[in-house]
Every structure is written in structure tokens, then in C-alpha cells.
Amino acid sequence: MKTLHTGRLLLRAFAETDAEDIYAWASDKRVTKFLSFKPHESIAETKQALDGWISESADEDNYIWAIEFNGRVIGKIHTNYVSRRHKRCEIGCHIGYDYWNMGLVSEALRCVLDYFFNQDIFNRVETIYEPENPASGRVMEKCGMQCEGTLRQFFLCRDNTYADALLYAILKEDFK
């Protein structure tokens, strides 16, 4: 996997030495509120998740980057549901609470979109998020993604209720 750089960020492969940095945000219920995993309860749980991310990144269909800022791993940006045949993927990202509202997620996402489109890896990149998380929508719009609709009762939440999802996407021809 290629290491990417922005003005403030390093997007790189995860390493076993990242566990403490990851635990700092993966154990925070504010960060995990809209994610598929519960807050980590121990560093051992974080190390197990980290081992999975490192293993998954060995597969050429997975793109999993640690988001490093000022020498600390503050988040993750990754693909889901990659289709090589159709040249599309879903992307997800999250960062620690202390780094919210600094433009860092938008910066990381723009960098990854630039890489995917300029290297002709994908023609379409999409993402989904819960409407109750409007900050995610603002990030997508800043990066040129367009809302394509609502997926009703798309997520089964941790409390066994269902939540809608908003689908945003961008095409290679629309990326600037």
C-alpha cells in the first residue's frame, strides 16, 4: 500500500507500535457513536483490532491507512466493498475527538480520492453515514461528493434499532 502525504498528514500502513495511539480514540464513545464497533475496553482489544487491520491490508483489494498527525496516529481511513470489475468502492474514516473540526478528515479524504482517481484505481467512490451525524455529510460535500439518496433502515444499531443511511458518492470525472 502506498504511503500518502498531505500538508499536515501522513497516511501510512498501520504498525504494531500504533496500539496506544489507537486506543486513545477507539475507546472514546464520542468517536465510536456512529461506528460499527463499541468503544474498546482495553488495550488488548485494540491490539486485536490492529492485528486484523494489519492482516487485512496485505490483501490488494483493501486500502487501510493510519492517519498520522504530528507523529501520532489519530484515526483511520479505509475502503469497504471494493469491486475491481466495476472500479468502485465504499470509503470510511474516523479520527479522535481532539482532532474534530480541524479539517483533517477532509484533508485525508481528498488525498485518498486524488490517489484513487489519478492512479485510475477507481471510477466511483461512495460512502454512507447516519443522518444524525451531519459532520460526516459536511466532510463529503467539502470533498465534492454528492448525496444520492437515503437508504431506509440500512444499519442495525448496537441497541437493535434500525437507522437510515445517507449515500454520498463522487465519480472520477467530477473530482477536482
Domain spans of the chain? 4-125
164: exposed, middle or buried (C-beta count within 10 Å: 0-12, 13-18, 19+)? middle
pTM for the predicted model, two decimal places? 0.92
- The grid coordinates listed for 68 are 498520522
In terms of CATH, what superfamily is 4-125? Gcn5-related N-acetyltransferase (GNAT) (3.40.630.30)
What is the pLDDT at residue 172? 97
The mean per-residue pLDDT over the stretch 14-34 comes to 88
Q: Please, where are the H alpha helices in the chain?
A: 19-26, 29-32, 43-56, 104-118, 134-142
The mean per-residue pLDDT over the stretch 165-176 comes to 94
Residue pointed to by grid coordinates 444524525 = 132
The mean per-residue pLDDT over the stretch 47-59 comes to 89
The H or E element that residue 12 is part of is strand 9-12
> What does the alpha-carbon distance between residue 31 and residue 76 come to, in Å, rounded to a whole number?
12
CB 21 within 8 Å of CB 74 = yes
Segment 145-158, tens digit of pLDDT: 999 999 999 988 87
- The grid coordinates listed for 93 are 474514516
What is the pLDDT at residue 176? 76
The mean per-residue pLDDT over the stretch 41-63 comes to 89
